[in-house]
Amino acid sequence: MPIDPAFLDELARLEASLRHRTDSRRQGEQQSPNVGEGLTFSDYRRYTPGDDVRLVDWRVYARTDEYFIKQYEAERDLTVHVLLDASASMDFGDGDANKFEYGSRLALAFAYFAAAGHDSFRFATFGDDAERLDRGGSTRGELLGLLDSLNGTDPGGRTDFVAALDAYARTIRSRSLVVVVSDFLEDPDEIGDGLAAFGRSDVLLVHVVAPAERDPDVVGDAVFEDPETGSTHRSYFAGSTAAAYRDRLAAHVDDVAARARTLRAEHVVVDTDTDFFDAFAEVWTRREDRWRAGQRVPQR
C-alpha cells in the first residue's frame, strides 16, 4: 500500500525521542562525528599510517603504549547516500511486510534523520544501474517528493551490484555514509565486488528479509520462480528439503555479512514483520553506539 505523507510526521516524533535519549546519555548537545583540525576537541581515534604525527597525543601513548590521534569538532558536512534496491526480488511479501515497501520506509527514514542532523542526503534506487531520485536538496519538500517517487515505483528487473554500485560510487565526492537497503539475493562475491567500489566511505548494509522467505507457506509439490530471471524449479517442499532451504538462506545471509566484515562495512538484518519504528530505532541506535565505541581510548 502507498506510504502516507503522515509517515514523515511519525519520523519526526521518533527522531525527537531518539535525540532526547542520546542527549541524556551524553549529558549535552550531540556533537557531529565529522572531525578535523578545528578549535574544539572532539575525541580520539587510532593512528594509521599517513596521519599527521603532530596530532598524536603523547600523554595517551605514555599511558596506553598505543598511538592515538586527537580529533576536533568541525562543521557537519557528512553526506548520507541512500541506495534502495528496486529489483524484482524486492517485490515480495504481503502488505506491510512487502520488502520494497518496508525498504522504502527504511530508506526514507535514513534520509529524514540525515536532514534532521543537518547533514545532506542523496537518494537513488538501483537494479542493473542506479537512478538518482533526489534533486540535491535535503528538505521536507525533497522528502515528500521522494515519497511520491517511491509510491510510483514498481520494482522490476535484475540487480547488478557491480555495475550499479560502481557507477554510483563514481559520483561520491565528499566524506560519506553509504546506506544500501536490499535483500542481497545475489552471489556474495558479486555483492562484495560492488561494495568495494565505495572505497573508504562508511558503509551500512540493511538486509531486509520477509517472513515468507524464512519459512515459505508451501507444503508438497511446488514450482518456484525466480522473479528476476523468470526461471522455474519444481521441487517437493517438505521435511528435509524445507530444512535444507532454510539452512541455505541462513548461510547466504552469513556470507553477505562476511563480505561486509572484510570491507569493514556494517551489516544488519531486518525482518519485515518487525514493527517498523522499533526496527529502525534499533538500527539507528546501534549505529550511534558503534561510532561512539570506536572513538573511545582504552584505559590501562
Question: Residue range 125-148: average pLDDT?
Answer: 94
Is residue 64 exposed (0-12), middle (13-18) or buried (19+ Cβ within 10 Å)?
middle
pLDDT digits (tens, 9 = 90+) for 226-259: 666 667 767 766 667 788 888 999 999 999 999 9
What's residue 234's pLDDT?
A: 73
Q: Partners of 220 in the beta sheet?
A: 237
89: helix, strand or coil: helix
Q: Could you please report the per-residue DSSP string of 150-186?
A: HHT----S---HHHHHHHHHTT--SSEEEEEEE---S
Cell numbers placing 277: 519504528
CATH number of 6-15+76-284: 3.40.50.410
Distance, CA of 5 to chain centre: 22
pLDDT digits (tens, 9 = 90+) for 167-221: 999 999 888 999 999 999 999 999 999 999 999 899 999 999 999 888 877 666 6
pTM to 2 decimals? 0.79
**Residues in Cβ contact with 136 at an 8 Å cutoff, skipping those fewer than 6 apart:** 122
